[in-house]
Chains A and B, each alone.
Chain A
């Protein structure tokens, strides 16, 4: 069995159970792939020792015959997840040296299921970014390139390291988190699958907080089936997160029948943006045709407040971030600035935060501070929360009218070059999330599925948006789309 690191989670699970391969073998294959992929800068903290211990334990468990699906599967973990004793920096200088004394619920769930951690993955600082260029570790690099052009491209963000690692076969799956599109946009940029579940499906406990009312964890994998298997292991009720849903977790994989006959798929007219590249338009049309051929019914719908989703997001997310990031004060953990003679506690806070936070994080914390400040709270923050109510209502009305899922492009373009956006104003970068951010504001599940290549040979993704708590149905729709699209392209290995 050559190239074990290229296996899907489903195939590896079956081979492990059949005794055709061991977790130790799988893990060694992945560790050596990681070692050879330094140029991608996807893995930023390596934990080979933990991985080998977990792999041996998984093999013993598989032998004993009580192994859950994720047992023995080597994964990468986004740096945003607190992992006990292992650096967990959220891609920020301010958490340099921080080694949590506890384990996030999602990673604990995965480890309880027998999963193996290869290391921590690169990301935008505090998950604030769409290109992985705000990371203290430097850029993660997309394994895909434009034809023979060797200009490095972004893997997207904020889960850029996760996307690059899965696309380059360094691990079988990776955890991601998604506040405005941070799972789905990088998945689309790297030709992999990523699902953000319904808000409350995955516990947020132990995940470094960005915008608490929007943050959700989810899996990033090579296939829809793998996403179903891994999501099931990640989610579940957690008393330590008061917004975690006390709902049974269905067997998502069992719901992958590929039968979507009679399903009503909404096509929102507001997602047809001015200046949208023809290739994105064509891909979307192709997606409609594929779902129609599979027996679904396309229905034109309207989500009238779509245009206001990004502006509302850029009030709500920075407001919550300014509050969440107040905890980085140089007192309890992480970086503290060197102080001058006579500096007091205010200087300590101000110098520590100026040194510890990068430009984009500083900007968002300050924008959040401004929109929450006296005199502006109603004009900005409360108004944005009212608009959020209207955005959610748009979706509720569509679902009430019988729509089962909504099909949109995942991103407004293919992956762009690293550094290409550096001269643009911050808002130009924010537009990357134009198709994904509505889903976070409405708390809905959304999935990005690779559906084709552009003229330059870069992957493009489509997004399906589902009803709340119906990830199983959503995954099944994505499975039908995946089968119809037959996306099998892989990046040529240059790293």
Chain B
């Protein structure tokens, strides 16, 4: 399985990372190096093996479904690159 420039461009788009067209060739080459390395996993007999979900055999804890925190709009917004009138501000999404 070899990744070409088109696939590299598609992956970059899915990951929402802008990659200039002149970098795609190099990027595809790097992907292929990594994928060539992980290709080895194909040698392992995994017939009947369960994929790992949790590394420690413990149940995730549950807690009562109640509000434990909140009422801190100013703190939530304090690190926003652009916040106005109590909201996060972003470029226009809907025309």
Contacts and interface: CB of A to CB of B under 8 A. Distances in A.
A56 B35 CA distance: 54
B22 interface: no
Interface string A338-369: 01000111111111011001000011011101
Nearest to B36: A427
Given A311-B38, A331-B80, A354 B18 contact: yes
Contacts of A365: 15, 17
B67 interface: no
A382 B49 CA distance: 10
A314 B79 contact: no
Contacts, number: 172
Of listed A99, A330, A369, residue having the most chain B CB within 10 A:
A369
B70 to A, nearest CB: 13
Interface in A302-356: 305, 307-308, 310-312, 314-315, 322, 326, 329-336, 339, 343-351, 353-354
Given A343-B91, A350-B16, A362-B17, A382 B51 contact: yes
B4 to A, nearest CB: 13
Interface stretch (A65-73, A266-274, A386-394, A399-407): A386-394
A390 B44 contact: yes
B45 to A, nearest CB: 9
Binding site secondary structure of chain B: loop
A239 interface: yes
B31 A370 contact: yes
A427 B7 CA distance: 21
B79 A333 contact: yes
A425 B36 CA distance: 12
Contacts of B53: 385
Nearest to A431: B37
Given A239-B63, A345-B91, A350-B18, A97 B52 contact: no
Chain B interface extent, by class: 35 or more
Given A242-B61, A314-B34, A344-B91, A308 B55 contact: no
Contacts of A331: 80-81, 88, 90
A371 B41 CA distance: 13
B30 to A, nearest CB: 6
Interface in A372-427: 373, 380, 382-390, 392, 425-427
Nearest to B80: A332
Interface in B1-52: 3, 7-8, 11-19, 27, 30-31, 33-44, 46, 49-52
A300 interface: no
A427 B31 contact: no
Contacts of B30: 363, 425-426
Nearest to A305: B44
A369 B38 contact: no
Contact of A443 (B35, B55, B81): B55
A427 B52 contact: no
A87 to B, nearest CB: 11
A426 B29 CA distance: 11
A81 interface: no
A47 interface: no
A82 to B, nearest CB: 11
A382 B58 CA distance: 21
B34 A367 contact: yes
A3 interface: no
Given A344-B93, A346-B16, A373 B37 contact: no
Contacts of A346: 16
Contacts of A348: 90-91
Contact of B44 (A239, A242, A387): A387
B41 A366 contact: no
A198 B56 contact: yes
23 contacts: A101-B78, A199-B55, A242-B61, A245-B56, A307-B40, A315-B41, A326-B16, A330-B81, A332-B80, A336-B81, A344-B92, A344-B93, A350-B18, A365-B17, A383-B41, A384-B38, A384-B41, A385-B52, A386-B52, A389-B52, A392-B52, A426-B33, A468-B56
Given A311-B41, A333-B80, 13 more contacts: A199-B56, A200-B56, A239-B63, A243-B54, A312-B41, A322-B15, A326-B16, A335-B81, A347-B91, A366-B11, A426-B30, A441-B55, A443-B55
Interface of B: 3, 7-8, 11-19, 27, 30-31, 33-44, 46, 49-56, 58, 60-61, 63, 72, 75-76, 78-82, 88, 90-93
Interface of A: 97-101, 198-200, 213, 239, 242-243, 245-246, 305, 307-308, 310-312, 314-315, 322, 326, 329-336, 339, 343-351, 353-354, 357, 362-363, 365-367, 369-371, 373, 380, 382-390, 392, 425-427, 430, 441-443, 468
